[in-house]
């Protein structure tokens, strides 16, 4: 294996985030590690409270005031955790961009859409109003907004949900960022619109060679959209694998439970879904070691003592193997954070 010599696009090492809650200062992210190159598409999947949105906000530097961050987040080699907010402002919108779940609240209802797209252009690239407006039109056409020229002066409330999301994408892409973070970008949209918007994101990401960090709770979405998936639970990544591999075999008991709990079209009527015992614990009730300990059928004493380390599934390798021709198979590491995983019935 020849490790790559180029600086990774994004390198997150031992990211820990502490939040101020009514129960005191609690650790909401417990050591997240991953790396992305230009053109990589990475998915973060998990349920409420697992820390996936928090990871995205930490990267963007948009955590609440009293949050504590430790570890490193290196974008093109620059450690974002060491930068002042002003320095981060020059990076946000230009080198890294984010789109959110609710386009209606993410867009300013009082400004016409061309103005909202022109804003980052004027701010970061010093464009004048006329050029910015022209560029806004180009961007709207690129995101395939129907009748873009007529719609330039429209306000957000005059557009449908899918159209608003396209506007948000064009704002994010205005300054051609290196990485796009999409936090549940289609959850609020109808399923037919969802398909179009996701296809659009995939197309634009491929055209520009951007990195894509896609956050969702929808497993099916991950299958279509990203090359690699990380499953999060209780503030930590519990499993990380190429998408195809993960859909073939889950090593972690939580991942197994998550996959098994989905209703699928082929199931017979009245089939009881497989459930994970118990409920997702609140942050102040997280067990000391593995957060899944209280719900796990295979829990041992050592699981509770400390957060288990990530282990590599045999047959997969860490690092990038440049010799493999098929790019999608260069990084095939399958990590799992469970000391007992080999004793499980690995389910497909």
Partner 1 sequence: MKSPHQVLLDVQHVSQQYALPKPSLFAKAGHIQPLKDVSFQLTAGKSMGIVGESGSGKSTLARLVMALEKPTQGKLFFNGNDLNALPQDQLRIARSDFQMVFQDPYGSLDPRQKVLYIVTEPLHSTLSSGSGQLPSTQDLKDRATFALTEVGLRASDLDKYPHEFSGGQRQRIAIARALITRPSLIVADEPVSALDVSVQAQVLNLMMDLQDRFGLSYLFVSHDLAVINLMCDDVIVLQHGQVVEAGSADEIFQRPQHPYTQALLAAIPGLSQ
The residues of the shown chain that bind partner 1, judged by CB under 8 A, are 47-48, 161, 190-192, 194-195, 198, 217-225, 257-258, 261-265, 267, 269-276, 279-280
Q: Which is nearer to partner 1, 50 or 107 (by Cβ)?
A: 50
Our measurement of the distance from residue 1's CA atom to the centroid of its chain's CA atoms, rounded to an integer in Å, reads 27
Environment class of 172 (CB within 10 Å of its CB; exposed 0-12, middle 13-18, buried 19+):
buried
Q: Which is nearer to partner 1, 279 or 323 (by Cβ)?
A: 279
Smallest Cα–Cα separation from 106: which of 164, 58, 65? 164
Going by DSSP bridges, is the β-strand pair 179-183/96-99 parallel, antiparallel, or unpaired? parallel
Q: Which is nearer to partner 1, 5 or 279 (by Cβ)?
A: 279
Check: CB of residue 27 under 8 Å from CB of residue 49. no
Q: Which is nearer to partner 1, 44 or 222 (by Cβ)?
A: 222
Work out how close the CB of 101 gets to partner 1 at its nearest, in angstroms, rounded to a whole number. Answer: 13
Q: Which is nearer to partner 1, 192 or 323 (by Cβ)?
A: 192
> Would the CA dihedral through 286, 287, 291, 294 be positive or negative?
negative
Q: Name 123's Cβ contacts closer than 8 Å, sequence gap at least 6.
A: 93
Q: Could you give the CA distance from residue 120 to residue 303 in angstroms, rounded to a whole number?
A: 47
Q: Which is nearer to partner 1, 147 or 272 (by Cβ)?
A: 272
Work out how close the CB of 168 gets to partner 1 at its nearest, in angstroms, rounded to a whole number. Answer: 18
Count Cα atoms within 13 angstroms, Cβ side, for 78.
12
Phi, psi of 62, rounded to the nearest 5 degrees: -110, 25
Work out how close the CB of 246 gets to partner 1 at its nearest, in angstroms, rounded to a whole number. Answer: 12
Work out how close the CB of 218 gets to partner 1 at its nearest, in angstroms, rounded to a whole number. Answer: 6
Q: Which is nearer to partner 1, 116 or 165 (by Cβ)?
A: 165
Percentages helix, strand, coil for the chain, rounded to the nearest 5?
A: 35, 20, 40
Work out how close the CB of 276 gets to partner 1 at its nearest, in angstroms, rounded to a whole number. Answer: 5
Work out how close the CB of 280 gets to partner 1 at its nearest, in angstroms, rounded to a whole number. Answer: 7
Work out how close the CB of 205 gets to partner 1 at its nearest, in angstroms, rounded to a whole number. Answer: 17
β-strand partners of 79: 74
């Amino acid at each position: 294996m020849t490790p790559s010599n180029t600086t990774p696009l994004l390198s997150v090492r031992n990211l820990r985030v502490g939040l101020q809650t009514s129960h005191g200062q609690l650790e909401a992210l417990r050591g997240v590690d991953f790396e992305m190159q230009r053109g990589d598409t990475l998915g973060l999947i998990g349920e409420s409270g697992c820390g996936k949105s928090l990871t995205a906000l930490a990267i963007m530097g948009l955590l609440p005031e009293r949050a504590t961050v430790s570890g490193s987040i290196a974008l093109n080699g620059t450690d974002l955790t060491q930068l002042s907010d002003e320095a981060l402002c020059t990076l946000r919108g230009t080198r890294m961009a984010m789109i959110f779940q609710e386009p209606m609240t993410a867009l300013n209802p009082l400004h016409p859409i061309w103005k909202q797209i022109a804003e980052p252009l004027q701010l970061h690239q010093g464009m004048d109003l006329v050029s910015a407006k022209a560029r806004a039109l180009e961007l709207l056409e690129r995101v395939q907004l129907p009748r873009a020229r007529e719609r330039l002066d429209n306000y957000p409330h005059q557009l449908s949900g899918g159209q608003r999301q396209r506007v948000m994408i064009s704002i994010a892409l205005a300054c051609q960022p290196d990485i796009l973070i999409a936090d549940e970008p289609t959850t609020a949209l109808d399923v037919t619109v969802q398909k179009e918007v996701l296809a659009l994101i995939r197309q634009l990401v491929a055209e520009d060679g951007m990195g894509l960090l896609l956050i969702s709770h929808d497993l099916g979405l991950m299958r279509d959209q990203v090359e690699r998936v990380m499953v999060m639970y209780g503030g930590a990544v519990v499993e990380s694998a190429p998408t195809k591999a993960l859909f073939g075999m889950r090593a972690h008991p939580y991942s197994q439970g998550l996959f098994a709990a989905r209703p699928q079209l082929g199931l017979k009527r009245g089939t009881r879904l497989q459930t994970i015992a118990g409920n997702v614990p609140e942050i102040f009730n997280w067990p000391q070691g593995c957060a899944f300990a209280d719900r796990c059928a295979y829990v041992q004493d050592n699981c509770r003592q400390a957060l288990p380390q990530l282990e590599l599934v045999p047959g997969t390798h860490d690092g990038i193997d440049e010799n493999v021709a098929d790019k999608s198979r260069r990084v095939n590491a399958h990590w799992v954070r469970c000391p007992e995983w080999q004793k499980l019935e690995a389910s497909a």
